Amino acid sequence: MWTWFYRLASPPYVYRVAAKLTPWFLALAALAIGYGVIDGLVFAPPDYQQGDAFRIIYVHVPSAWLSLFAYTMMAVAGAIALIWRIKMGHAVAACVRSHRRIVHAARARDGFAVGKAHVGHLLGVGSSTDFGADLLFLYVGVMSLRPAFEDAGRGDRAAALLAIVGVVNVPIIHYSVVWWNSLHQAATVAKIGKPSMPGSMLWPLLSMFLGFTLFYGAGTVSSIAR
Amino acid sequence: MIDGFWSMGGYARYVWPCFGFAAAVLAWNLWSARRHLAAARLRTARALAMAASERA
């Protein structure tokens, strides 16, 4: 297992695998997103309370998931680089960083739209948006810290450390909708027990989750490949 | 029915911009990755050409 682990850290091996994976990730992402968009916009029934405005979840929830997932990946890659002194970890963390900011923007924009549609106010949905903004500031900090050092190695280590510290925010964002009173609904899919959502609404959402993750994966591995 | 689809039950001005922005974000990601790949290839080709000329 350790041989495999160290082979994963070898740049030529990683570049070769990354170049092969990119088109597969992209093709599967296109299929999953295509199915999710058509099923979510055309065939899923309107919500009994939110009407057709609920369809925003098909882009908002995958963007929110991706913003947390990508931050965690960045911290894990940084931790691997710091603990095992594997330089590839810093490279992966840098590639994850390069695609992440825009996902945050999509998530925030959709969250504001939901607030405006139902509450008449841009920040109507509350705590999750606030903590998401905290994570965005942390991310900007990590992005700015790395080039602030003349020695690239020291910059990488400092950025990795800050990313690891910031991970504390990830579970807070996830559970903020439960811990604080807000208009954001509680967990519907990622919870213990059966999702409280009918299959006709759930399948397109899961497909969009998969599609967004694969698309993000394609962006990250193509960055690694170059 | 088509009109009903585009009007999204009166929420069209919230739903469509969200999907439009998400599509723009995905397209931007793809375009940016391709642009960076092309730039990296160009840099590598130049470096190889310079190394070859120095050897010669």
Cβ separation A37–B11 shorter than 8 A: no
Residue in A with minimal Cα distance to B1 = A42
Cα–Cα distance between A128 and A134 in angstroms, integer?
10
CB A222 within 8 A of CB A14: no
Summary mean pLDDT of chain A? 77
Cβ separation A114–B14 shorter than 8 A: yes
The interface predicted TM-score of the complex, written ipTM, equals: 0.78
Instruction: Kindly list the residues from chain B whose CB atom is less than 8 angstroms away from the CB atom of residue A47.
Output: none
Instruction: Extract the tokens encoding A100.
Output: 């992440």
DSSP letters along A5-46, please?
A: HHHHT-HHHHHHHHHHHHHHHHHHHHHHHHHHHHIIIIISPP
Cβ separation A226–B37 shorter than 8 A: yes
Residue in A with minimal Cα distance to B16 = A56
Condensed to tens digits (0 to 9), the pLDDT of residues A150-179 reads 887 888 888 888 888 888 888 887 777 677
Instruction: Kindly list the residues from chain A whose CB atom is less than 8 angstroms away from the CB atom of residue B10.
Output: 51-52
Percent of chain A scoring above 90 in pLDDT = 13
Condensed to tens digits (0 to 9), the pLDDT of residues A5-38 reads 677 777 778 778 888 888 899 899 999 999 999 9
